[in-house]
Copies of this chain bind each other. A is one copy, B any other.
Amino acid sequence: MLIQIEPQLDVPIYEQVTRQIIEGIARGEMKPGDTLPSVRNLAADLGVNMHTVNKSYHELEAKGILTIRAKSGAIIRSAEERALTPEQLQQIEKNLKPLVAEGMVLGATVDQIECMMKKVFADLQMSAEGV
């Protein structure tokens, strides 16, 4: 799985790593039970510091997406282990709101936004099924 870092972005590097790992899992490039690269290896690959990757892994653990086993690596949790709590859905909805509002104000119709959402979903889903 390829991870691309853009250090000049205003999104923190650790957040970029987090997002791309999530997308990688969504795309099916990594599956439950898989072990992620060690923090040192991934850091070396990306050319960033170990701590930056470490922070990303811990963020993913907090999101319930993976389990960090001390001294043996980070493992992607299975769908059963991942609880889709109402809080998590609310969190996503909360983050969705300003995006939708901005789209509306700029003149996008509900169809355009829905279409965009479906496209994003389909892109990820398609890759997942293609695996």
Copies of this chain, whole number: 4
Judged by DSSP, the binding face of A is helix
Residue among A82, A88, A99 with the most chain B CB within 10 A?
Answer: A99
Judge if A102 is at the interface, Cβ distance under 8 Å: yes
Task: Choose among B8, B63, B95 the residue that contacts A69 (Cβ–Cβ < 8 A).
Answer: B8
Distance between Cα atoms of A82 and B69 in the complex (Å): 29
Instruction: Please count how many residues in chain A sit with their CB below 8 Å of the partner chain's CB atoms.
Output: 50
A104 adjacent to chain B (CB < 8 Å): yes
- Nearest-Cβ distance from residue A71 to partner chain B, whole angstroms: 9
Q: Which residues does chain B contribute within 8 Å of A110, judged by CB atoms?
A: 118, 121, 125
Contacts of A113 in B (CB 8 A): 92, 117, 121
